[in-house]
Structure 1
C-alpha cells in the first residue's frame, strides 16, 4: 500500500523549506506527497525577497482536486500568509475535515532569516484554524504570539501548553530550538498528558527548514498509522540528525540534511512494518 499525505504550504525557491522540504521528507519517509501551494516566494539561503499569495479560489481548486482523487491519510499546514488564504483553508476543511486524515498545523510566522511569512492581521484567523488540528507544532516565539505567554522558564511553557488547551487545541508540541541551553527540549501536551522529548543541541548554522521538516516527518508517520507519541519521537530523531549532519549549500543559512534524517529514521524500529 502506498500511503498518501498532503502539504498545504508556501513554495520555497531555495528548496530548503516549505513545499519543497515537505515533499522531500514525505518521499524519504516512504509516503507519496501531494501539495496545495498557498504562496510563491523568491528566496535563497540569504533571505526572502518576494512573496506572491495564491488567490483563495485557486487554493480551493487545488484542495478539491486532491480530496476528489487521493486517499489522504494525513495533512500538514504550513505557511498560509494572509487572512484570505487562512479563511479559504478553514472553510474547506470545515466541510471536508474527514477527507484528510490526521492534521498537523505548523503555524509558520517568521522565516529563519527573519522575514515575516504571516501578515499581522492574520493571527486571529490562524488561531480559529488551530482547533481543527490533531497537533500543532509552534516554536517558542510563535507560541508566545498565539498564547500571550512570555516563555522565560519551564513553568511558562507549561502555562502556554494549558492555554492552548483552553483555546480548544487537543495536541501541542512547543519546539525548544530557540532556548539557549545545552538541550533542545520539545514540550508536548496530548490531552491531559505532558512530556518532553530531548536531544543534544547542535552548534551549526544550516538550520533552514527545521520546522517544516519536523512537521512533515510527523505527518508522514501519522499517514502510515504510527501512534502519535511514536510519530513525535521519530520526527525528533529525523530533524536532530538532519541538523547535526550539515550540507554545504548556499552562502547564508543553509538547509538541513534531509537524507541524514531519513538514514537515522531507517535505523529505528520498523514495528509498524513501515521501514523505508
Structure 2
C-alpha cells in the first residue's frame, strides 16, 4: 500500500474560471506534493474579465464539509481564502479552533479580486482581524489588504512595518507582506515574525496574466508547512514556485489570464 502524501485543506470560494480560489488552491497543492481537499464557502461566476456574481453557501453546508473531511481524513495544514461575510468569518473561525493542536493555518485575507471586484463585505474585515488573525500561523496580505486588515492607513513604507506589527500583536505568528502590487524590477515580499524580518525577492515578470497569484502563494506555503518545512523555508519555497508560475502565466479569455500552476511540469516535458 502506498503511503498517503501530506493533507492540506483549503477553505475558500470557487472560481468558475479556474484561475483563483479553490481551483487554484488544489492545482498548487498537487504541484507541490500534497493531497488537496476543500471546503467551499462561496460560489462565484467569474472569468478573465471579472466577477459577475457571488453566492455564499449556508453555514451548515460549510460546517458539514469541514467535519466530513477533518473527522475522517484529517489535515496536516489549512489554508483559508474568500470568506465573504462577517458571519462566514465567524463560522470558519469556530471550525479552525477545533483543529488538533499544531496544525498550521495559512490565512489569505482576500478582499478584492484581481479585477477589482469586492469579495469581502466591509464589516467582515473587522471580523477577520478579531476572529481569524489570532489563529493564523502565517497571514499573507498584499498591499491592498494590509491596511484594512490591520486597521492602519498606509502612507509610507514605515506604515507597512507598523501594520505588520499590529497584526503580530493581534495574534498572528507570522505576517508575510506581499509586494506584488509595488513597483520596481523586483517583487519583494517581507516576512515578519517575533524578532524576525526577512525579505524574499525575485525578478518581476513582464506578464499581465497573474490571476490567482495570492491564492496560489498561500496554498503553496501551506503545502510546504504540511511537508514539515518551517515557516521561512516554506515561504522561500513558495516564492520560488509562484515566481515561476507568474512568469509562465498565459492568456485566457479576453482579460487577465491565470498563472501557470503546472509550469514546472511543462518545462520538464520540453526537455
Q: Structure 1-normalised TM-score?
A: 0.91
1:229 to 222, 229, 232: 232
**Which residue of structure 1 aligns with residue 121 of structure 2?**
119
Distance (Å, rounded) in 2 between the aligned partners of 1:99 and 1:166 = 21
Distance (Å, rounded) in 2 between the aligned partners of 1:92 and 1:159 = 30
In structure 1, runs of 5+ residues without a counterpart are: 267-276
Aligned residue pairs total: 264
**CA RMSD of the aligned region, Å?**
1.6
- The alpha-carbon deviation at position 100 of structure 1 amounts to 7.8
**Which residue of structure 1 aligns with residue 188 of structure 2?**
185
**SS of structure 2 residue aligned to 1:249:** coil
Which runs of structure 2 are paired with 1:257-272 in the superposition (5 Å)? 257-260=260-263
- The alpha-carbon deviation at position 150 of structure 1 amounts to 3.5
- The alpha-carbon deviation at position 148 of structure 1 amounts to 3.2
Distance (Å, rounded) in 1 between the aligned partners of 2:62 and 2:128 = 16
Distance (Å, rounded) in 2 between the aligned partners of 1:152 and 1:182 = 21
Give the direction of change, closer, same or farther, for the CA distance of 1:144–1:46 in structure 2 (3 Å limit): same
Instruction: Give yes or no for the alignment of 1:248 onto 2:259.
Output: no
Distance (Å, rounded) in 2 between the aligned partners of 1:28 and 1:34 = 14
Give the direction of change, closer, same or farther, for the CA distance of 1:193–1:262 in structure 2 (3 Å limit): farther
- The alpha-carbon deviation at position 71 of structure 1 amounts to 2.6
Q: Is the 8 A contact 2:109 2:149 kept in 1?
A: no
- The alpha-carbon deviation at position 42 of structure 1 amounts to 0.1
In structure 2, runs of 5+ residues without a counterpart are: none
**Which residue of structure 2 aligns with residue 218 of structure 1?**
221
Instruction: Give yes or no for the alignment of 1:42 onto 2:15.
Output: no
**Which residue of structure 2 aligns with residue 98 of structure 1?**
100
Distance (Å, rounded) in 1 between the aligned partners of 2:179 and 2:264 = 19
**Which residue of structure 2 aligns with residue 107 of structure 1?**
109
- The alpha-carbon deviation at position 263 of structure 1 amounts to 7.0
Q: Is the 8 A contact 2:133 2:167 kept in 1?
A: no
2:150 to 147, 159, 173: 147
**SS of structure 2 residue aligned to 1:97:** coil
